[in-house]
Amino acid sequence: MRRLLLSLALLLAAGCTTWPGNRPPVAYQADTRLVVTSHAAIEELLKTIPSGKSLDRSQPIIVASLVNIDDLTSSRLGRILSEQLGTGLTGSGYAVVELKLRGTIFIKQGEGELLLSRELKEITRKHQAQAVLVGTYAQSLKNLFISLKLVGVGDNQVIAAHDFVLPIDSDVRSLLWTRGS
Protein backbone atom coordinates (compact mmCIF):
# COMPACT_ATOMS: atom_id res chain seq x y z
CA MET A 1 0.00 0.00 0.00
CA ARG A 2 2.87 2.37 0.81
CA ARG A 3 4.46 1.69 -2.56
CA LEU A 4 1.18 2.39 -4.28
CA LEU A 5 0.73 5.68 -2.40
CA LEU A 6 4.35 6.66 -3.04
CA SER A 7 4.00 5.85 -6.75
CA LEU A 8 0.76 7.82 -6.93
CA ALA A 9 2.36 10.80 -5.15
CA LEU A 10 5.33 10.74 -7.54
CA LEU A 11 3.02 10.52 -10.53
CA LEU A 12 0.97 13.50 -9.32
CA ALA A 13 4.12 15.52 -8.60
CA ALA A 14 5.46 14.75 -12.07
CA GLY A 15 2.18 15.98 -13.56
CA CYS A 16 2.80 19.41 -12.00
CA THR A 17 6.21 19.86 -13.59
CA THR A 18 6.97 21.31 -16.98
CA TRP A 19 8.66 18.95 -19.37
CA PRO A 20 11.52 20.27 -21.51
CA GLY A 21 9.39 20.16 -24.67
CA ASN A 22 6.92 22.64 -23.17
CA ARG A 23 9.46 25.31 -22.23
CA PRO A 24 10.90 27.99 -24.50
CA PRO A 25 14.50 27.43 -25.56
CA VAL A 26 17.09 28.46 -23.00
CA ALA A 27 18.32 31.30 -25.25
CA TYR A 28 14.85 32.91 -25.19
CA GLN A 29 14.59 35.46 -22.42
CA ALA A 30 11.85 38.04 -22.85
CA ASP A 31 13.09 39.99 -19.86
CA THR A 32 16.66 40.82 -20.86
CA ARG A 33 17.84 44.20 -19.59
CA LEU A 34 18.06 45.75 -23.07
CA VAL A 35 14.50 44.83 -24.05
CA VAL A 36 12.97 45.73 -20.70
CA THR A 37 14.82 49.05 -20.57
CA SER A 38 13.90 50.10 -24.12
CA HIS A 39 10.22 49.22 -23.63
CA ALA A 40 10.16 51.04 -20.28
CA ALA A 41 11.78 54.07 -21.96
CA ILE A 42 8.94 54.23 -24.50
CA GLU A 43 6.36 54.01 -21.72
CA GLU A 44 8.06 56.89 -19.91
CA LEU A 45 8.41 58.92 -23.11
CA LEU A 46 4.71 58.54 -23.88
CA LYS A 47 3.85 59.69 -20.34
CA THR A 48 5.61 63.01 -21.02
CA ILE A 49 3.40 63.97 -23.98
CA PRO A 50 1.50 67.08 -22.91
CA SER A 51 -2.28 66.82 -23.12
CA GLY A 52 -2.42 69.57 -25.76
CA LYS A 53 -0.02 67.69 -28.05
CA SER A 54 -1.63 64.27 -28.12
CA LEU A 55 -0.72 61.95 -30.97
CA ASP A 56 -3.18 60.18 -33.24
CA ARG A 57 -2.52 56.46 -32.73
CA SER A 58 -3.58 55.68 -36.30
CA GLN A 59 -1.24 58.22 -37.91
CA PRO A 60 2.30 56.84 -38.46
CA ILE A 61 5.41 57.53 -36.44
CA ILE A 62 8.83 56.98 -38.00
CA VAL A 63 11.57 55.59 -35.76
CA ALA A 64 15.12 56.58 -36.72
CA SER A 65 18.22 54.69 -35.68
CA LEU A 66 19.77 56.03 -32.51
CA VAL A 67 23.17 57.56 -33.16
CA ASN A 68 26.38 58.13 -31.26
CA ILE A 69 26.38 61.75 -30.11
CA ASP A 70 30.09 62.14 -30.90
CA ASP A 71 29.98 61.31 -34.60
CA LEU A 72 26.28 60.88 -35.46
CA THR A 73 26.81 57.36 -36.75
CA SER A 74 24.85 54.40 -35.57
CA SER A 75 25.97 51.03 -34.32
CA ARG A 76 24.31 47.67 -34.01
CA LEU A 77 23.15 48.88 -30.60
CA GLY A 78 21.60 52.06 -32.06
CA ARG A 79 19.76 50.02 -34.67
CA ILE A 80 18.47 47.32 -32.30
CA LEU A 81 17.37 49.96 -29.79
CA SER A 82 15.38 51.70 -32.52
CA GLU A 83 13.77 48.36 -33.41
CA GLN A 84 12.83 47.75 -29.78
CA LEU A 85 11.55 51.31 -29.32
CA GLY A 86 9.39 50.81 -32.41
CA THR A 87 8.10 47.57 -30.91
CA GLY A 88 7.25 49.46 -27.72
CA LEU A 89 5.35 52.12 -29.68
CA THR A 90 3.46 49.44 -31.60
CA GLY A 91 2.65 47.64 -28.35
CA SER A 92 1.25 50.91 -27.01
CA GLY A 93 -1.13 51.10 -29.95
CA TYR A 94 0.74 53.53 -32.23
CA ALA A 95 1.20 53.02 -35.97
CA VAL A 96 4.90 52.69 -36.79
CA VAL A 97 6.30 52.84 -40.33
CA GLU A 98 8.76 50.06 -41.17
CA LEU A 99 11.28 51.90 -43.33
CA LYS A 100 13.33 48.86 -44.26
CA LEU A 101 10.42 47.50 -46.31
CA ARG A 102 10.28 50.62 -48.47
CA GLY A 103 12.31 50.32 -51.67
CA THR A 104 12.52 54.08 -52.12
CA ILE A 105 14.20 54.83 -48.79
CA PHE A 106 17.99 54.90 -48.89
CA ILE A 107 19.47 53.09 -45.90
CA LYS A 108 23.21 53.55 -45.65
CA GLN A 109 24.84 50.23 -44.87
CA GLY A 110 26.06 50.10 -41.29
CA GLU A 111 24.18 53.22 -40.25
CA GLY A 112 20.49 52.34 -40.37
CA GLU A 113 17.73 54.86 -40.93
CA LEU A 114 19.53 58.13 -40.28
CA LEU A 115 17.14 60.93 -41.00
CA LEU A 116 19.02 63.85 -42.45
CA SER A 117 17.12 67.12 -42.53
CA ARG A 118 16.96 67.23 -46.35
CA GLU A 119 15.48 63.72 -46.42
CA LEU A 120 13.14 64.15 -43.49
CA LYS A 121 10.45 66.21 -45.21
CA GLU A 122 10.22 63.85 -48.18
CA ILE A 123 10.15 60.70 -46.05
CA THR A 124 7.54 62.00 -43.63
CA ARG A 125 5.41 63.40 -46.46
CA LYS A 126 5.54 60.14 -48.36
CA HIS A 127 4.53 58.13 -45.29
CA GLN A 128 2.17 60.79 -43.90
CA ALA A 129 3.96 60.56 -40.57
CA GLN A 130 2.95 62.80 -37.70
CA ALA A 131 6.19 62.44 -35.76
CA VAL A 132 9.70 61.03 -35.82
CA LEU A 133 11.37 59.32 -32.87
CA VAL A 134 15.06 60.23 -32.81
CA GLY A 135 17.74 59.57 -30.26
CA THR A 136 21.37 59.83 -29.34
CA TYR A 137 23.62 57.89 -27.00
CA ALA A 138 26.92 58.56 -25.29
CA GLN A 139 29.14 55.87 -23.84
CA SER A 140 30.95 56.21 -20.55
CA LEU A 141 33.05 53.58 -18.81
CA LYS A 142 30.11 51.77 -17.20
CA ASN A 143 26.95 53.28 -18.68
CA LEU A 144 25.28 54.30 -21.87
CA PHE A 145 23.39 57.59 -21.61
CA ILE A 146 20.46 57.70 -24.02
CA SER A 147 18.23 60.62 -25.00
CA LEU A 148 15.02 60.16 -26.96
CA LYS A 149 12.94 62.87 -28.60
CA LEU A 150 9.59 62.57 -30.31
CA VAL A 151 9.58 65.39 -32.87
CA GLY A 152 6.48 66.69 -34.64
CA VAL A 153 6.79 66.64 -38.41
CA GLY A 154 4.80 69.78 -39.14
CA ASP A 155 6.76 72.17 -36.95
CA ASN A 156 9.92 70.28 -35.87
CA GLN A 157 8.93 70.92 -32.27
CA VAL A 158 9.85 68.37 -29.62
CA ILE A 159 6.59 66.78 -28.46
CA ALA A 160 8.13 64.62 -25.75
CA ALA A 161 11.58 63.70 -24.52
CA HIS A 162 13.04 61.11 -22.20
CA ASP A 163 16.56 60.35 -20.96
CA PHE A 164 17.66 57.04 -19.49
CA VAL A 165 20.77 55.10 -18.59
CA LEU A 166 21.64 51.60 -19.71
CA PRO A 167 24.42 49.80 -17.81
CA ILE A 168 27.07 48.47 -20.17
CA ASP A 169 27.14 44.72 -19.81
CA SER A 170 28.71 42.23 -22.22
CA ASP A 171 25.66 42.32 -24.53
CA VAL A 172 25.62 46.10 -24.78
CA ARG A 173 29.41 46.22 -25.25
CA SER A 174 29.25 43.73 -28.12
CA LEU A 175 26.47 45.72 -29.80
CA LEU A 176 28.46 48.96 -29.51
CA TRP A 177 31.35 47.42 -31.40
CA THR A 178 31.65 48.64 -34.98
CA ARG A 179 33.90 47.51 -37.81
CA GLY A 180 37.33 49.04 -37.56
CA SER A 181 37.11 49.50 -33.76
Residue 169 lies in a domain: yes
The SS3 of residue 10 is: helix
| pTM for the whole structure | 0.73
Residue 14 lies in a domain: no
Do the bridges between strand 131-139 and strand 61-63 make them parallel or antiparallel, or are there none, so unpaired?
parallel
Q: Which band of pLDDT confidence, cut at 50, 70 and 90, is reported for residue 101?
A: very low
Residue 20 lies in a domain: no
Q: Which amino acid is at 105?
A: I
Work out the average pLDDT over 104-131. 60
How confident is the model at residue 27, as a pLDDT?
Answer: 53
Q: Which domain holds residue 114?
A: 28-176
Domain count, the chain: 1
Q: How far apart are CA 41 and CA 133, in angstroms?
A: 12
Residue 13 lies in a domain: no
CATH number at residue 32: 3.40.50.10610
Residue 94 lies in a domain: yes
Q: Please list, in sequence order, all residues whose beta carbon lies within 8 angstroms of the beta carbon of residue 115, skipping any fewer than 6 positions away.
A: 62, 64, 123, 132, 134
Residue 2 lies in a domain: no
Work out the average pLDDT over 138-161. 93
Res. 63: pLDDT tops 80 = yes
Q: Each residue of 26-36: pLDDT tens digit?
A: 455 555 788 89
Residue 54 lies in a domain: yes
Other Cβ atoms less than 10 A from the Cβ of 121: the count is 11
Q: Each residue of 128-143: pLDDT tens digit?
A: 889 999 999 999 999 9
The SS3 of residue 22 is: helix
Indicate the Cα dihedral angle 82, 86, 92, 95, nearest 10°. 150
Q: How far apart are CA 70 and CA 74, in angstroms?
A: 10
Q: Which amino acid is at 79?
A: R
